[in-house]
Chain A
Amino acid sequence: MSTTTTDIEARPKQKAERRDESTRPGAYFQPAVDIFETPDELAVLADMPGVPPDGVDVHLEGDELRIEGRVRPEDYEGLKPLHVEYGVGGFYRRFTLGEEVDREKIQAQLRNGVLALRLAKAERARPRRITVQPAS
């Protein structure tokens, strides 16, 4: 199968809606995400450019998964904007998890501004092959 690479189109950054209890000031955007599922796990990839590994928080509370990324103000010290095509700020997004996710087994990794979450499915939710024993 041949694949053709297409040219990417630019999309404007979406502002994130913050809950009231989040009192961190500043601009926040919704990260673009890819969410896919394999038989064993759910994966979430979120674009958070400018967020260093120690600037990300992943919170799980009941059914709700929240991801938050903070950029470094130091990266902008001494810079005066001349031409602006995108806003700069942190990232925030919420997700509701289904029961099939094992709450204890969530892995998070941030690399090159992409947060990768791997959520293992609970054992009972994984497809199982049941072998049938012949009657003796």
Chain B
Amino acid sequence: MVVFRDPFQDLQRELERMLEPFSAFPSAAGGVFPPVNIFDAGDAYVVRAELPGVDPKKVEIDVEDDTVTLRGERAFDVPGREVAYHRREREQGRFRRVVRVPGRLETGEVKAEYRDGVLSIRLPKAKETRPRRVEIAAA
């Protein structure tokens, strides 16, 4: 019997299973917005955060040792004139978040990208901690 597996759905289920909202992971100095996911990409860690409608120029990312600090502001255009709100669920304001990655990083090679409202930060692992293939020497 052939079972069709969708790897993305598997990932979604895995994320669901591992979900820890508002965890104690951030330091006391930072807040809990935005929620972040941390992935292992083999030779790098990838930290992702959902920040729709943010000006990327207003987001600061600082990396020191194994901590990543995200700081910024989410500010919407105010419609002006005569406006009546029917619903207001999207939050705006300042945020500051400190995230720790599980291992040592290679300094100076961090890349950040903001696309479709998702901030993605790629942090290469320190070379000596990357997965390495070990050859078995002949006897």
A interface residues (Cβ-Cβ under 8 A, vs B):
5-12, 25-27, 32-39, 43, 45, 47-52, 73, 75-76, 78-89, 111-114
B53 near A6 with CB under 8 A, answer no
Q: Assess whether B89 is interfacial by the CB under 8 Å rule.
A: yes
**Complex Cα distance A86/B130, Å?**
26
Taking a contact as CB atoms closer than 8 A, the residue among B8, B32, B52, B91 that contacts A112 in the complex is: B52
**Complex Cα distance A54/B56, Å?**
22
Q: Assess whether B128 is interfacial by the CB under 8 Å rule.
A: no
Taking a contact as CB atoms closer than 8 A, the residue among B7, B15, B76, B85 that contacts A87 in the complex is: B15
Q: What 1/0 flags go to B67-81 for Cβ under 8 Å of A?
A: 000000111100101
B interface residues (Cβ-Cβ under 8 A, vs A):
6-9, 11-12, 14-16, 18-23, 25, 31-42, 45-46, 50-54, 73-76, 79, 81-96, 102, 114, 116-118
B116 near A82 with CB under 8 A, answer no
Taking a contact as CB atoms closer than 8 A, the residue among A39, A49, A78, A83 that contacts B51 in the complex is: A49
A37 near B50 with CB under 8 A, answer no
Q: Which 8 A-B pairs have the closest CB atoms?
A: A113-B117, A113-B52, A73-B8, A49-B117, A85-B35, A79-B39, A49-B50, A32-B89
Across-interface contacts of B54 in A (CB, < 8 A): 112
Which of A12, A75, A79, A87 gathers most chain B CB within 10 Å?
A79
Taking a contact as CB atoms closer than 8 A, the residue among A37, A81, A87 that contacts B86 in the complex is: A37
> Nearest A residue to B96 by beta-carbon distance?
A7
Across-interface contacts of B52 in A (CB, < 8 A): 47-49, 112-114
**Complex Cα distance A73/B20, Å?**
22
Contacts A/B (CB < 8 Å), 29 sampled: A7-B33, A8-B93, A9-B91, A12-B22, A26-B6, A26-B8, A33-B90, A37-B83, A37-B86, A38-B83, A47-B53, A47-B90, A49-B52, A49-B118, A50-B50, A51-B116, A51-B117, A76-B11, A79-B11, A79-B46, A81-B40, A82-B39, A83-B20, A83-B36, A83-B37, A86-B36, A88-B12, A111-B53, A112-B116
